[in-house]
């Protein structure tokens, strides 16, 4: 069946009636209509702050406006009885979508229309651990460092009675929103992640939870016609159709480290101490087997190796050099692993032996996610590889943007 738009249901009705006459299974209408869902318990917390966030320049979807009253399409009498509980929703399709995580919310920055993510983190003893870590990573002298791959902090808000801190971050794409296609694309990922970890370690900050969900990408040209901000990889709007994309090697891609909830910062190299706190995503790390404090910096190196192994080596056929390099990062003895800085230097030396032809070599057994389609018009012909070490993008903080424009937040019609 084709995708159906509410209000123009004659063709869809004929398809349903034909299926019923032929005794065929009738597809339920999730892909044809968007339906209103009542706010989930963890979402109801957000509409308490809808007005305050809007005043500060961050517009949540209308779904979270306490004054919003959903309106529905009337259900036609020809709809099968099994669908009577469904109510097609009028208005933007986004208002039908709930957020899967209680602490994450999508929004738009009113000053410039930039899509952002609001992360709510708990405050204990009037301090916010993750916000403090991000403040260190976002200092003026560190934020502009080309080696810094930590997601920038655009703004920070605290409201009386919330017992939480709202961190405003740029909207990014998941690591595997499109498949890797060449050795050069994999090399770019590994090098950027290593560079970002080495930078964090150089200012005495250990991430301690490096994993695939915590490595995201910024690539404004990856989807020439845009992609769905709630379902990256699909076309904009309420359709489930896959979005056409351009291969990573043709466009600017910057990888970012996110989620610093388990990170530790030390005043100096001499002040570093082994500590034992919560576990990250990779719970099979050697450091977690016992009960002793461990070195979070050595753990980061192991986690980078685990990331490369699970997300690249186990999914693609890669030249042997990356297998050997990853094995060195994942040694059981933390003291036998290279530091992040040494690992980056070793990796750069390995890259000198790989010529242009090696970078452009296509990966074997490249998976093609069913939700994605190649944009062949952009990828036709001999691969054109963009240079490595691309400069970081410029993200203006809300304070900088307001100072430059002299503008005040305005409410957007989403």
State pLDDT tens for residues 319-340.
Answer: 899 999 999 999 999 999 999 9
Residue 324: CB atoms within 10 A of its CB come to: 10
What pLDDT sits at residue 237? 81
The size of the chain, in residues, is: 414
Judged against a pLDDT cut of 60, whether residue 413 lies above it is answered with no
Percent of the chain with pLDDT over 70: 77
Judged against a pLDDT cut of 60, whether residue 207 lies above it is answered with yes
Judge contact between 236 and 225, C-beta under 8 A.
yes
Q: Mean pLDDT score of the chain, rounded to an integer?
A: 83
How many whole angstroms separate alpha carbon 139 and alpha carbon 135? 6
Query: What mean pLDDT do residues 256-270 have?
Result: 95
What pLDDT sits at residue 18? 67
Query: What mean pLDDT do residues 214-223 have?
Result: 96
Query: What mean pLDDT do residues 22-34 have?
Result: 48
What pLDDT sits at residue 414? 43
How many whole angstroms separate alpha carbon 352 and alpha carbon 218? 26
Query: What mean pLDDT do residues 154-174 have?
Result: 92
What pLDDT sits at residue 9? 44
Query: What mean pLDDT do residues 196-208 have?
Result: 97
Judged against a pLDDT cut of 60, whether residue 27 lies above it is answered with no
Judged against a pLDDT cut of 80, whether residue 88 lies above it is answered with no
Lowest average pLDDT, out of 38-47, 51-60, 265-274, goes to 38-47
Confidence (pTM): 0.84
Query: What mean pLDDT do residues 204-211 have?
Result: 96
Judge contact between 123 and 163, C-beta under 8 A.
yes
What pLDDT sits at residue 380? 46
pLDDT band at 342 (very low <50, low <70, confident <90, very high): very high
Lowest average pLDDT, out of 289-298, 303-312, 401-410, goes to 401-410
pLDDT band at 241 (very low <50, low <70, confident <90, very high): confident
Q: Specify the residue for token string 């044809």.
A: 32
pLDDT band at 74 (very low <50, low <70, confident <90, very high): low
What pLDDT sits at residue 67? 85
Residue 185: CB atoms within 10 A of its CB come to: 23
Q: How many CA atoms lie within 13 A of 11 on its CB side?
A: 8
Residue 227's Cα: distance from chain center in Å? 13
pLDDT band at 30 (very low <50, low <70, confident <90, very high): very low
What pLDDT sits at residue 122? 87
Q: What domains can be seen in the chain, in order of their start residue?
A: 39-70+92-171+396-414 (3.30.200.20), 174-379 (1.10.510.10)
Judged against a pLDDT cut of 60, whether residue 5 lies above it is answered with no
């Amino acid at each position: 069946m084709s995708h159906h738009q509410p209000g123009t249901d004659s063709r869809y009705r004929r398809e349903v009636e034909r299926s019923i006459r032929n005794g065929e299974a009738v597809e339920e209408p999730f892909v044809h209509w968007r339906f209103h869902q009542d706010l989930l318990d963890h979402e109801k917390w957000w509409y308490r702050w809808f007005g305050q966030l809007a005043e500060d320049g961050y517009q949540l979807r209308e779904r979270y406006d306490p004054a919003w009253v959903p309106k529905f399409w009337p259900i036609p009498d020809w709809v099968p009885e099994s669908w009577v509980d469904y109510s097609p929703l009028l208005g933007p399709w986004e208002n039908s979508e709930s957020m899967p995580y209680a602490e994450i919310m999508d929004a738009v920055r009113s000053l410039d229309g930039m899509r952002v993510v609001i992360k709510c983190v708990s405050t204990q003893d009037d301090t916010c651990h993750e916000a403090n870590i991000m403040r260190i990573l976002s200092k003026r002298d560190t934020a502009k460092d080309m080696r810094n791959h930590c997601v920038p902090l655009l703004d920070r808000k605290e409201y009386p009675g919330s017992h939480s801190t709202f961190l405003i971050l740029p909207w990014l794409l998941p690591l595997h929103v499109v498949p890797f296609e060449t050795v050069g694309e994999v090399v770019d990922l590994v090098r950027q992640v290593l560079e970002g970890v080495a930078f964090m370690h150089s200012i005495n900050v250990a991430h301690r939870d490096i994993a695939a969900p915590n490595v995201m990408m910024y690539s404004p040209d990856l989807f020439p016609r845009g992609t769905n901000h709630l379902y990256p990889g699909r076309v904009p709007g309420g359709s489930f159709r896959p979005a056409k994309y351009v291969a990573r090697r043709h466009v600017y891609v910057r990888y970012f480290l996110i989620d610093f909830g388990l990170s530790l910062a030390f005043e100096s190299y001499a002040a570093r101490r082994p500590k034992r706190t919560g576990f990250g995503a990779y719970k099979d790390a050697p450091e977690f087997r016992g009960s002793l404090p461990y070195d979070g910096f050595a753990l980061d190196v192991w986690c980078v190796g685990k990331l490369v192994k699970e997300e690249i080596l186990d999914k693609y056929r890669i030249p042997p050099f990356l297998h050997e390099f990853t094995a060195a990062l994942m040694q059981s003895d933390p003291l036998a692993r290279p530091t992040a800085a040494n690992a980056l230097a070793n990796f750069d030396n390995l890259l000198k032996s790989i010529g242009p032809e090696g970078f452009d070599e296509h990966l074997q057994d490249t998976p093609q996610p069913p939700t994605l389609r190649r944009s062949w018009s952009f990828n036709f012909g001999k691969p054109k590889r963009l240079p490595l070490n691309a400069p970081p993008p410029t993200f203006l903080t809300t304070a900088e943007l307001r100072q430059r424009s002299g503008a005040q937040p305005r409410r957007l019609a989403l």
